[in-house]
Amino acid sequence: MTSMLYELQAALFSAEVSRRDLLDIPPSERGRPVSINVWRNHAFEAILPLMAPFSAIRAWHGEFNLGAYDDTLIFNGWRPADIELLWLDSSRFALAPDFPAWLEWLRSRLSVLRAMSRAPIIVATWLPDIAMRDALAAMTDTCPATYFADLEAACTDQDIPLVDPRVAKISGSPISNRAQAHLARELACRWIPAALFPPIKAVALDLDNTLHAGIVGEDGIDGVRLTDGHVRLQNQLKNLREHGVFIALVSRNEYRDVEALFAQRLDYPLRWDDFSAIEVAWGDKADAIGRIAEHLRISTDAMLFVDDNLGELNSVALKWPQLHTLYADTDADATWRAISWWPGLWRWKVESDDTKRVQDLQANRDREALAHQTDDIGDYFRMLQARLTYRIDPSDQLSRLADLCAKTNQFNLAIRRLNQAELADRFVGKDTCVMSVQLSDRLSDSGVIALVAATRKGSDLIVEELCVSCRAMGRRLENDIVLTALGNMPIFPGCEKVVFSVQHGPRNKPALEWLTQLSGKQAAQGLHSVPATVVANFAPTDGVELTIEGIGNNEP
């Protein structure tokens, strides 16, 4: 499939996708099925087959449960699904006379759906003016795991007319042909993956004929060409970095040549320091990708590798089958389009903590240097001015905490992947608690780096979800993060056992090893208990400042 995907890139990621081109792509039902309930008042059928070639990129296929046309949204025929999609023609509603009343009605219908379903809800519609769109976006922001897909804005960005007055009578939907193809790509490459799948955290790029035209080892530093397309590509990559996506360089070249290139070619928007990881050598690129993943503390399935050499792409994909790989076109604009449409890279919302990721990694070098100055861990943390802040049921961090559940792979004990709706339930539950942990020191503010969600059952504290971000791993604070969080939960006092829910995943070895070390027995799949005294008697690490916020603040 990977080789086939390279051949299909031109059609899938063209500036404007064509229904006719998509029809020529053989259907694929490969990969994970994703069940999608479609609640609609206009036709969705013509979009459905157009999504399949895009969903195949990330190895999933949609299994659709299409509701009957229903302007009242009674959700008749609901069944459990991975995604709830509201596909609404807003022109069928009388919005103008009292838009706030319509918005309130829609909110009440979303509440009804939320009571039935914990799945992410996507409200896909369009509205006559910007004020209405902003109001709908603001309303959905207040509903957990609910997103507004603005069809009008999505089409306007691409200069595509959303509505075609000719077709409403015959097709059951006013959406134009061009818009249907475009929206199919938005749904399958951006909106659904961003609501459902772990995101891409890093883009690793080859240099020659990818970030510029030509080969630096043959054409020389002044001989390689930076086309207008390459300038745009590099600027967009820089922008991605500012939004918290790591950019890495992986190139077969002489290190000193490439370093000199970035020092001398001041016309390159990307600078040497913009790369969070650099692997320039004549060795195996697959090994280099492994080292980059290790350095960035991410798994290879959270990385997109871009190269103009199909042989390199294939050999790297052979070693890392979960790695995302993309062929770099000679047209750099085409390369950028493919990157920008790659499922998992687009986000519904960029959290402020996302943008801290790149800066935080850079600070690690300084932390390591500091660690060499003293053997006393207390002195080390005091020099660092390390601070952990714990917050109980922090509703204002809901989006970030759901992100952590979705993104954390390595230090994730239960891999429940609780979404916003499920976390919000635990904020207000009498016997449940969610604790967030923020980490900062004088070198960087890492933001919210961990969450622990637990339920009290009799004398047991059941830990349902435990995620520590990779940016906090290796900082020798795992016990402080987890045990202090558990010990300060309002539902902890009186517990006799702390029972960890454990799932063995493909990449959560660090979390399993931590639990094995804590309990002194192998962290087997299922429930794994330790005496509550382990938590109650835990002495925090010397030199770390701890702050607990929000005790008794368990409000809806």
Per-residue burial over 238-271, b if 16 or more Cβ lie within 10 Å, else e, is eebbeebbbbbbbbbbeeeebeebbeebeebbbe
- 159 is a site residue for other proteins (CB under 8 A): no
- 79 is a site residue for other proteins (CB under 8 A): no
Residue 160 CB, shortest distance to other proteins, in Å, is 13
Burial class from Cβ neighbours inside 10 Å (0-12, 13-18, 19+) for residue 501 reads: buried
Rounded distance between C-alpha atoms, residue 184 and residue 163, angstroms: 15
Residue 1 CB, shortest distance to other proteins, in Å, is 20
* CB 400, CB 418: distance < 8 Å: no
Residue 171 CB, shortest distance to other proteins, in Å, is 4
Which of 20, 430 has the CB closer to other proteins? 20
Q: Which residue from 30, 92, 166, 349 is in contact with other proteins, where contact means CB under 8 A?
A: 166
Which of 163, 489 has the CB closer to other proteins? 163
Which of 21, 366 has the CB closer to other proteins? 21
- 70 is a site residue for other proteins (CB under 8 A): no
Per-residue burial over 160-187, b if 16 or more Cβ lie within 10 Å, else e, is bebbbeebbeebbbbbbbbbbbbbbbbb
Q: Which residue from 45, 129, 287, 431 is in contact with other proteins, where contact means CB under 8 A?
A: 45
Q: How many residues bind other proteins (CB under 8 A)?
A: 19
Residue 19 CB, shortest distance to other proteins, in Å, is 5
Per-residue burial over 288-310, b if 16 or more Cβ lie within 10 Å, else e, is bbbebbebbbbbbbbbbbbbbbe
* CB 183, CB 202: distance < 8 Å: no
Pair type for strands 460-468 and 497-502: parallel
Q: Which residue from 170, 266, 369, 539 is in contact with other proteins, where contact means CB under 8 A?
A: 170
Residue 170 CB, shortest distance to other proteins, in Å, is 5
Q: Which residue from 2, 6, 19, 359 is in contact with other proteins, where contact means CB under 8 A?
A: 19
Residue 158 CB, shortest distance to other proteins, in Å, is 16
Which of 77, 161 has the CB closer to other proteins? 161
Residue 85 CB, shortest distance to other proteins, in Å, is 18
Residue 238 CB, shortest distance to other proteins, in Å, is 35
- 458 is a site residue for other proteins (CB under 8 A): no
- 531 is a site residue for other proteins (CB under 8 A): no
Count the neighbouring beta carbons within 10 Å of the beta carbon of residue 554. Answer: 17
Which of 120, 174 has the CB closer to other proteins? 174
- 28 is a site residue for other proteins (CB under 8 A): no
Stretch that binds other proteins, among 21-29, 351-359, 416-424, 442-450 (CB under 8 A): 21-29
Q: Provide CB contacts within 8 A for 72, sequence distance 6+.
A: none
Beta strand spans in 345-475 (E): 387-392, 411-412, 432-440, 445-457, 460-468
Residue type, 214: G
Stretch that binds other proteins, among 16-24, 123-131, 427-435, 485-493 (CB under 8 A): 16-24
x/- track of binding to other proteins for residues 46-65 (CB under 8 A): x--x----------------
Count the neighbouring beta carbons within 10 Å of the beta carbon of residue 196. Answer: 22
Residue 316 CB, shortest distance to other proteins, in Å, is 33
Which of 180, 488 has the CB closer to other proteins? 180
- 171 is a site residue for other proteins (CB under 8 A): yes
Which of 165, 311 has the CB closer to other proteins? 165
Residue type, 478: E
- Contacts of other proteins in 464-483 (CB under 8 A): none
- Written as one string, the DSSP assignment of 56-96 is GGGTEEEEEEEPPP-TT---TT----SEEEEE--GGGS--S
Rounded distance between C-alpha atoms, residue 56 and residue 32, angstroms: 9
Residue 340 CB, shortest distance to other proteins, in Å, is 23
Burial class from Cβ neighbours inside 10 Å (0-12, 13-18, 19+) for residue 158 reads: middle
Q: Which residue from 1, 4, 7, 23 is in contact with other proteins, where contact means CB under 8 A?
A: 23
Rounded distance between C-alpha atoms, residue 500 and residue 455, angstroms: 11
Length of the chain: 556
Residue 67 CB, shortest distance to other proteins, in Å, is 15
Q: Which residue from 169, 256, 372, 430 is in contact with other proteins, where contact means CB under 8 A?
A: 169
Stretch that binds other proteins, among 17-25, 218-226, 304-312, 540-548 (CB under 8 A): 17-25
Rounded distance between C-alpha atoms, residue 139 and residue 367, angstroms: 42
* CB 61, CB 34: distance < 8 Å: yes
Residue 178 CB, shortest distance to other proteins, in Å, is 9
- 18 is a site residue for other proteins (CB under 8 A): yes
Report CA-CA distances (Å) from 53 to 8, 18, 46, 81, 295: 9, 12, 14, 21, 34
Q: Which residue from 158, 177, 227, 364 is in contact with other proteins, where contact means CB under 8 A?
A: 177
- 153 is a site residue for other proteins (CB under 8 A): no
Which of 159, 228 has the CB closer to other proteins? 159
Which of 26, 311 has the CB closer to other proteins? 26
Rounded distance between C-alpha atoms, residue 355 and residue 403, angstroms: 13
DSSP at 187 = I
- Give residues in contact with other proteins (CB under 8 A): 18-21, 23-24, 43, 45-46, 49, 165-167, 169-172, 177, 180
